[in-house]
């Protein structure tokens, strides 16, 4: 498939998205000479921000609010949003009609001339991806491109700028990896940060979720002259199993990394808190070393790297109280990691959309580490129950004691911030780390994080 392939074709973009997920595809197809139709179940009002980005392409037709089977039967190419499952009934209609079903990420892999470094995992993949690109960019005369699931960064509309000798660093979600697997494609360099249960509302089981992620290694092209590189976290059980599974294959180089590998000199140059961020650093260092980045260069550029928005991001320090936005923590495991990042007393704000994940271990961690938990959203009562269950501790001789954790359920993030301010004293950390998705109360995790930041900044202005 070449860019010219799209000329005069009817291209259906399935899923424009409220935050522009399909904008890149629509622009690319228009510029390639295709007749473009955008189909989305959301309304024009809901998609207004995304539609505005396409104002320079007046010939695009919109089918909004519902899907028409005829559109899928008559289009030459259907480009599906990653959120659309592969077995979606409209995609099946297209396939039965003999149409091409693909995705933004599949088209990019088909047309990109550069080496692609793909990073995935349950936790830490965005920070690891950004940090990897940051280290690789430290070398002059090398273009490094950052994109993928880390944000709605354009991929297809920048293809003309990417050269053979460039490097492309992509964060890949399980949904995108599934799409690539349909064409048996994977990046030449693939890295797994870790695996913990997530998206069980889509996959049904942790095993199915892992199987979707494993495709990033399963479909790497094995070539002894230019071997695939597969990188695994030595502290992750699933990653260790896959390391053993793939390490003996010809045409593949397997690498392990660990937070313990990071030297004290490098640690001193790194500002992000917690062992999990050290693990992210170890992963980025492993990639940088594969591409010949010298330690001197790493020490020079590392202090310039700052936390990504919504990922243990220090929003403000007010009267000795530090407020952290970790809205990207959408699983119990990622919130457990956040709680372990601090040694000082913590007030945690958690709760949100119910993805049917268990909260038992999170309840134990909150009982051990937090002085208060302020809970919001659909899962508030479930998390409260898990905390209360964990606060009763039985010692070695069978006597029960109750840990002191103040637990409150409130009906809004604003109330949670207000109550946190009342409970916090100098030296405390207030941590928004929801352990849940945001869709019950917010448009997405970014919206939730921005609202938290706004509320905290109002406090600082008083």
Q: 310: alpha, beta or left, given left = phi > 0 and alpha = psi -120 to 50?
A: left
- Spell out the per-residue pLDDT of the chain, length 462, in tens: 677 899 999 999 999 987 678 999 999 999 999 999 999 999 999 999 899 999 999 999 999 999 999 999 999 999 999 989 999 999 999 999 999 999 999 999 999 999 999 999 998 999 999 999 999 999 878 899 999 988 767 899 999 999 999 999 999 999 999 999 999 999 999 999 999 888 888 899 999 999 999 999 999 999 999 999 999 999 999 999 999 999 999 999 999 999 999 999 999 999 898 899 999 999 999 999 999 999 999 999 999 998 889 999 999 999 999 999 999 999 999 999 999 999 888 999 999 999 888 999 999 999 999 999 999 999 999 999 999 999 765 555 555 556 689 999 999 999 999 999 999 999 999 999 999 999 999 989 999 999 999 999 999 887
d(CA 438, CA 396) in angstroms, rounded, equals 40
CATH topology of domain 313-460: 3.90.190
How far from the centroid of its chain's Cα atoms is residue 441's Cα?
Answer: 20
Q: To which CATH superfamily is domain 112-304 assigned? A: Mur-like, catalytic domain (3.40.1190.10)
**Distance from C-alpha of 124 to C-alpha of 192, rounded to nearest angstrom:** 10
Contact between 50 and 22 under an 8 Å Cβ cutoff? The reply is yes
Dihedral angle, C-alpha 300, 190, 154, 326, nearest 10 °: -70
| Domain boundaries, given as residue ranges, for the chain | 7-103, 112-304, 313-460
Query: What is the C-alpha separation between 346 and 340, in angstroms, rounded?
Result: 10
Alpha carbon distance 221, 48 (integer Å): 41
Q: How far apart are CA 167 and CA 351, in angstroms?
A: 38
Collapsing DSSP to helix, strand or coil, 350 comes out as strand
Helices H / strands E in the chain, number of each: 18, 19
Structure tokens at 378: 């659909």
CA distances, 212 to each of 176, 200, 209 (Å): 9, 12, 5
Within 8 A by CB and 6+ apart from 141, the residues are none
Residue 450: strand, helix, or coil: helix
Pick the CATH number of 7-103 from 1.20.1250.20, 3.30.2040.10, 3.40.50.720, 3.40.640.10: 3.40.50.720
């Amino acid at each position: 498939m070449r860019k010219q392939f799209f000329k005069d074709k009817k291209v259906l973009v399935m899923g424009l998205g409220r935050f522009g997920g399909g904008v890149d595809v629509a622009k690319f197809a228009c510029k390639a000479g295709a007749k473009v139709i955008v189909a989305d179940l959301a309304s024009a009002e809901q998609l207004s921000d995304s539609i505005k980005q396409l104002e320079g392409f007046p010939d695009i037709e919109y089918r909004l609010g519902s899907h028409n089977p005829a559109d899928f039967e008559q289009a030459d190419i259907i480009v599906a949003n990653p959120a659309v499952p592969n077995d979606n009934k409209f995609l099946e209609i297209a396939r039965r009609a003999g149409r091409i079903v693909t995705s933004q990420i599949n088209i990019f892999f088909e047309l990109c001339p550069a080496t692609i470094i793909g990073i995935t995992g349950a936790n830490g993949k965005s920070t690891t991806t950004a940090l990897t690109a940051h280290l690789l960019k430290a070398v002059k005369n090398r273009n490094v491109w950052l994109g993928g699931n880390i944000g709605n960064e354009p991929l297809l509309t920048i293809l003309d700028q990417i050269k053979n000798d460039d490097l492309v660093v992509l964060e890949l979600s399980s949904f995108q990896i599934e799409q690539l697997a349909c064409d048996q494609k994977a990046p030449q360099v693939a890295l797994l940060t870790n695996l913990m249960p997530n998206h069980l509302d889509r996959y049904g089981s942790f095993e199915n979720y892992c199987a979707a992620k494993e495709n990033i290694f399963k479909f790497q092209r094995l070539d002894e002259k230019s071997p695939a590189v597969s990188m695994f976290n030595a502290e992750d059980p699933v990653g260790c199993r896959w390391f053993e599974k793939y390490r003996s294959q010809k045409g593949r180089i397997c690498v392990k990394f660990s937070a313990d590998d990071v030297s004290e000199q490098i640690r001193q140059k790194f500002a992000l808190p917690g062992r999990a961020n050290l693990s992210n650093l170890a992963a980025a260092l492993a990639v940088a070393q594969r591409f010949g980045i010298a330690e001197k260069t790493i020490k020079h550029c590392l202090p310039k790297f700052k936390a990504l928005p919504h990922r243990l991001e220090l929003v403000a320090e007010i009267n000795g109280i530090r407020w952290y936005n970790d809205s990207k923590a959408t699983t119990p495991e990622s919130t457990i990691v956040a709680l372990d990042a601090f040694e000082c007393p913590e007030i945690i704000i958690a709760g949100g959309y119910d993805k049917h994940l268990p909260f038992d271990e999170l309840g134990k961690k909150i009982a051990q580490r937090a002085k208060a938990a302020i809970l919001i959203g659909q899962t508030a009562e479930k998390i409260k129950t898990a905390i209360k269950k964990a606060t009763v501790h039985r010692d070695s001789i069978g006597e029960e004691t109750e840990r002191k954790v103040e637990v409150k359920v409130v009906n809004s993030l604003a109330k949670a911030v207000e109550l946190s301010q009342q409970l916090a004293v100098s030296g405390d950390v207030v941590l928004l780390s929801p352990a849940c998705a945001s869709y019950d109360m917010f448009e997405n995790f970014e919206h939730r994080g921005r609202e938290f930041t706004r509320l905290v900044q109002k406090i600082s202005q008083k």
